[in-house]
Amino acid sequence: MKIALGQLESGTDIQANLAAIDRFAASAAADGATLVAFPEYATYEKKIVDASFPAVAEPLDGPVCRELAATAARHGITLVAGVVETSDEDRAYNTLVAFGPCGARLAVYRKIHLFDAQGFGESAYIKPGPSTEPVVFEAGGAVFGLMTCYDLRFPELARSLADAGAQVLLVCSSWVPGTHKTEQWLALNAARAIENSVYVAGVCQAPPVSVGRSLLVDPMGYVEADLGLEPGVRSVEVSLRTVARVKEQFPMFRQRRLG
């Protein structure tokens, strides 16, 4: 099966962001992809998370998610994107939403590890998701697991998704630039793939707000695609047979003695 990585350059113009998502979804569908993944904060993004994020937040049945659902249905493709969701307080949720090719909502994941690091304070304006349960969904015969950006540094979340049956991890991100940050981004995506015998699709915002380098890593750690620094969309094959073969070659899930 084919999945597509949509590397955006999202800004504060929500309609422009939605238009870019629609263009990339159309291109991915035309290329035969069954799923297209977009970054964290795909529909609204700035260099710094501030009070404007809760101000633009919407419920999951609001106009932004309705448009994302319509895009998925219009192009007959499963679509995953990061949105800013209202909560029950003055902070918002940093949320990933998956819509199926008929426009139905398949999964919702609210980021649990907020980026209070490197001088940033995401939790001042974003509320952590209330549940740490792994969020997986099925599309095109494969099982996908959802993670957001800083989650990548917490290997136990990736392992819980693999334990829940995920064959492909979608790591939707806006990875903050800095010293060695691109190297860490590449290494951590590869590590999560190798240690769980799964594909990892790390989908990132483009510079300057983020580092770009959206990539697909196979279960052996080989980089199947790297989108570089410019916005764009690319379709890549994933093989569930490869997942099964690597799990058999390295039967870590049967051999581990912790947990």
Q: Are 151 and 113 in contact (CB under 8 A)?
A: yes
SS3 content of the chain, % helix, strand, coil (to 5): 30, 25, 40
Beta strands (DSSP E) in the chain are: 2-7, 35-37, 78-86, 92-99, 105-110, 136-139, 142-148, 168-173, 199-204, 215-217, 223-226, 232-237
Which element (helix H / strand E) includes 195?
helix 181-196
Q: How far is CA 240 from the centre of its chain?
A: 19
Other CB atoms within 10 Å distance of the CB of residue 188: 18
| Beta strand 136-139 pairing with 199-204 | unpaired
Q: Are 182 and 214 in contact (CB under 8 A)?
A: no
111 in active site: yes
Choosing from 45, 111, 122, 172, which is the catalytic residue?
A: 111
Choosing from 45, 58, 85, 149, which is the catalytic residue?
A: 149
Choosing from 9, 40, 45, 85, which is the catalytic residue?
A: 40
2 in active site: no
Token digits for 140? 């095109």
Number of alpha helices (DSSP H) and beta strands (DSSP E) in the chain: 7, 12
1, HSE (Cβ side, Cα atoms, 13 Å): 20
Hey, which residues are catalytic here?
40, 111, 149
